[in-house]
Structure 1
Amino acid sequence: MKKVLLFGAFFAFFGMNAFAQEEAAEPVTDEDLTQYATVEVMTSLYVEDKTEELRNMILNNDVIDGGARYNEIKAAWGDDAKMAEAEVTEEEKAAYQVILDFQNSLQQSVVDYKTGLITESDVITVSVYNKVLAAVKDDPSVKEKLDSMILSIKEEKDAERAAAKEDGDAEAAEDGK
């Protein structure tokens, strides 16, 4: 019975392997590349937003009082003698730890965000993502075309964000009048 199961598993493996190769042999379309590029740009913008959030946490922290003090605490962190020399208070330690925790969670947050885009959104499917990823690894011209698309989409999104920020700034200025 074991031999029959092993034999069946063996052929199932080769069947799946042939299917995977057949899927990989399917050419990558411009639409596939656009979907992949969109995921990359959305992830990049997410990283920019989170980086800005971290920057604001540091610069606008009432306890730590800006970047200079943050850098002092960062340099002393983990060394009790340096912490005492820098006169880091318990309140500052707690505030710094909140920032540190946020910073340490960023990588997983980005992974979760990108995974969600690939598996749970209408932006791209897992099979298209994997097909483009394989094509990029195998063919430098596909990578070059993808990089060009990413740059183009990123420039477009950056322009949209800048315009939205200007609109928001103009509205805020009018509200202040």
Structure 2
Amino acid sequence: MVYLPQEDSHLLKKWVEQLAKGNVLDMGTGSGIQAFAALPNAKKIVAVDADPNAVEYIKNALIFEATSKIEVRRGNLFDAVKPKEKFDVMIFNPPYLPESKYDKEIDTTGGKNGWETIEKFLKGAGKHLEKDGIILMVFSSLTNKDKVLEIAKAEGYKPHLLQKKHVSFEDLFVYKFTLV
């Protein structure tokens, strides 16, 4: 199932439009909203998703956009990224909700506690991020913000809160991470 843009997607999109430039990685592209938001200032965009339906969805959208800047790849996190490939900006709207007996969908749940997919991403991102590069990520208060920031710091990133917004039953956070 393709993750269609929700409040978190639109919140992140605002920052992508302002900060995305150069070579961009849109990890977990879903509908491609972030990849398309990055188009004006990006040199090249690699849009990755594990879901074959999402890959097909964005490829179909590219027919109408008529751009050669976006390359779509299927894969689970960094297995779709070439070993020496580097990016100026990485965008990640991860599945971040904790698993429950009612919700185990891979497009919304990030593991038992919600932060496990974020941890895997942050562990792999450093070797593909340019020295002065940034990671733009959105996640929820339901994910355990302190744990996410602890993981980021342990992996060598400095977190910068860009925006916090209360929506319904949760707070959404947009962070920019830079290498220390």
Give TM-score scaled by structure 2 length. Answer: 0.20
Give the number of the structure whose residues are more often helix, by fraction.
1
Q: Which has the higher contact order (CA 8 A, sep 6+)?
A: 1
Query: In proportion to residue count, which structure has more strand?
Result: 2
Higher Rg of the two aligned structures: 1
TM norm structure 1: 0.20
